[in-house]
């Protein structure tokens, strides 16, 4: 008896040692957010920034004042397919949270079953059944049936808070998808506005090329009159005819670009091709809004892509913690309660037909932990990868704003100089035409002057479009558009 007690103690000690050995888990890589900690105080040395003024916090309905553009944005927010896809990703992530939350509570199920069993006569079970009487004079039936029904429960006790950690990771991922939706909103509004301004620019360029075509038509008529008067040659006539054909061809090219741009906007709005309602008359006189950048640290709170990356990093860290706890033993409790008998009529006889079971199991991995190690190493690598993604997002956000701030200043100066160039060339057109009528300038001077004026006008329109689009881009880069 003493030897048996000693043997049991050894068995218990060995089992305890094995359980403790299974609790050894590797350490996760310690990561540090150096990029976030070292965000500059301002976007450049000249601009110190003002924390009270930040255009990124302005709602898009207040930022955009063109009613036609506002209407397009509203349509896109209702129908854009990419946005709808993102909303479904949020629903998927929400279901993931519910799934993780469900593992914290017991699983209870109900079931019924029926079966039949024939044990060998010369076995302990068969011999026992043959000599058992259910009632006086009634032996156990052979073969023996089995009918049962009841409730079954299973519950993993979260002793290491592994399940809670997994749920927290799922919540962080869900919140990141919400921020991802906000980023899609911001990008969508930017795309609509940029394409809208490009469409207005094409409308104005079409007007310019049509005016240029009329100018070339008049120049061709003058050259023909001068040819008849022997003050010009056939070469001048052909040159003006070629220039007229070139300008007409350019007109059709612009018309095609307008069609494609309209359809691009319609695609963003999630609808089939239809005319885009717009007013081109005030395009060249539109004054871009003044944009206030605030301070760089505000990007961390304003830009949804940064918040999304931060939440994904948090989720990845929690995944590593949960994967590490896979090395610890798990405690599961299972229970059943129901009725069981070899005849259906006996199921209602109680308490004889009542059957129950309650068991607890503490088990941990001992040998061949390669799958658990691989899962942990994967989670650890992903958290490092998420850190790099987060750092890259912050860095790119800062560079976006810094570059666009410089672009705003430079494009304003570019537009002013292009305006001066256009005015000078428009005046020179009248002078050249007058000289050509009086045979004091040849046709080449007229052609070159008109081409230079055309190019300057087209570039001026492009400059206005870039001026307006740059303001939209910096508004989005500051985190505006999704509120």
Q: What is the 3-state secondary structure (H, E, C) of 256-278?
A: HHHHHHHHHHHHHCCCCCCCCCC
> What is residue 135's predicted lDDT score, i.e. its pLDDT?
65
Cβ proximity of 57 and 303 under 8 Å: no
Q: What's the CATH code, domain 25-104+159-329+374-478?
A: 1.20.1600.10
> What is residue 48's predicted lDDT score, i.e. its pLDDT?
52
> What is residue 439's predicted lDDT score, i.e. its pLDDT?
65
Range list for CATH 1.20.1600.10 in the chain:
25-104+159-329+374-478
> What is residue 200's predicted lDDT score, i.e. its pLDDT?
97
Range list for CATH 2.20.200.10 in the chain:
107-157+330-363
Which residue pairs, CB below 8 angstroms and at least 24 apart, start in 448-453? 449/425, 450/212, 450/215, 450/216, 450/219, 450/243, 451/243, 452/425, 453/422, 453/425, 453/426, 453/428, 453/429
The verdict on domain 107-157+330-363 having CATH code 2.20.200.10 is yes
pTM of the model: 0.84
SS3 content of the chain, % helix, strand, coil (to 5): 65, 10, 25
The 3-state DSSP class for residue 3 equals helix
Per-residue pLDDT of the chain (483 residues; tens, 9 = 90+): 455 555 555 555 454 544 555 557 788 888 877 788 888 888 875 555 576 789 999 999 999 999 999 999 999 999 999 999 999 999 999 999 999 999 999 999 999 998 888 877 778 777 776 676 666 656 667 777 888 999 999 999 998 999 999 999 999 999 999 999 999 999 999 999 999 999 999 999 999 999 999 988 988 887 888 788 777 778 878 888 998 999 999 999 999 999 999 999 999 999 999 999 999 999 999 999 888 998 998 998 899 999 999 999 999 999 999 999 999 888 999 999 999 988 888 888 888 889 999 998 888 887 778 899 999 999 999 999 999 999 999 999 999 999 999 999 999 999 999 999 999 988 887 777 777 666 666 666 777 788 888 999 999 999 999 999 999 999 999 998 888
> What is residue 369's predicted lDDT score, i.e. its pLDDT?
83
Contacts of 457 (CB under 8 A, 6+ apart): 208, 422
Residue 352 and residue 188: Cα distance in Å, rounded?
Answer: 70
**C-alpha of 326 from chain center:** 31
């Amino acid at each position: 008896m003493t030897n048996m007690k000693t043997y049991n103690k050894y068995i218990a000690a060995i089992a305890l040692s094995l359980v403790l050995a299974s609790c050894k888990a590797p350490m996760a890589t310690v990561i540090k957010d150096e990029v976030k900690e070292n965000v500059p105080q301002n976007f450049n040395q000249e601009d110190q920034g003002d924390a009270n003024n930040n255009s990124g916090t302005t709602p898009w309905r207040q930022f955009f004042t063109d009613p036609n553009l506002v209407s397009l944005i509203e349509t896109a927010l209702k129908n854009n397919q990419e946005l709808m896809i993102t909303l479904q990703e949020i629903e998927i992530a929400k279901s993931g949270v519910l799934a993780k939350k469900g593992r914290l509570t017991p699983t209870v199920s109900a079931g019924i079953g029926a079966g039949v069993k024939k044990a060998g006569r010369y076995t302990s079970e068969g011999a026992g059944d043959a000599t058992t009487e259910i009632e006086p004079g009634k032996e156990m039936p052979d073969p023996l049936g089995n009918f049962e029904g009841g409730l079954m429960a299973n519950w993993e006790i979260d002793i290491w808070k592994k399940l809670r950690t997994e749920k927290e990771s799922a919540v962080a991922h869900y919140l990141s998808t919400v921020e991802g939706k906000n980023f899609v909103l911001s990008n969508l509004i930017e795309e609509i506005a940029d394409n809208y301004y490009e469409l207005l620019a094409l409308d104005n360029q079409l007007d310019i090329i049509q005016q240029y075509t009329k100018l070339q038509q008049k120049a061709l008529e003058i050259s023909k009159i001068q040819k008849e008067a022997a003050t010009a040659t056939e070469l001048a006539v052909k040159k003006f005819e070629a220039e007229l054909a070139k300008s007409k061809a350019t007109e059709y090219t612009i018309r095609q670009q307008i069609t494609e741009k309209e359809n691009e906007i319609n695609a963003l709005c999630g609808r089939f091709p239809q005319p885009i309602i717009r007013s081109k008359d005030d395009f060249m006189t539109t004054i871009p809004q003044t944009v206030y950048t605030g301070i760089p640290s505000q990007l961390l709170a304003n830009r949804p892509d940064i918040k999304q990356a931060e939440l994904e990093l948090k989720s990845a860290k929690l995944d590593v913690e949960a994967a590490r706890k896979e090395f610890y033993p798990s405690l599961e409790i299972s229970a059943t309660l129901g009725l069981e008998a070899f005849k259906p009529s006996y199921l209602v006889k109680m308490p004889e037909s009542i059957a129950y079971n309650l068991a607890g199991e503490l088990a941990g991995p001992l040998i061949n932990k390669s799958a658990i190690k691989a899962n942990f190493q994967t989670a650890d690598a992903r958290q490092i990868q998420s850190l790099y993604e987060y750092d890259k997002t912050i860095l790119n956000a800062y560079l976006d704003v810094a570059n666009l701030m410089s672009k705003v200043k430079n494009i304003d100066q570019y537009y002013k100089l292009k305006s001066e160039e256009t005015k000078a060339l428009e005046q020179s057109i009248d002078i050249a035409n007058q000289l050509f009528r009086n045979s004091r300038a040849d046709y080449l001077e007229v052609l070159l002057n008109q081409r230079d004026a055309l190019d300057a006008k087209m570039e001026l329109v492009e400059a206005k479009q870039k001026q307006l689009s740059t303001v939209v881009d910096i508004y989005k880069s500051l985190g505006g558009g999704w509120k």
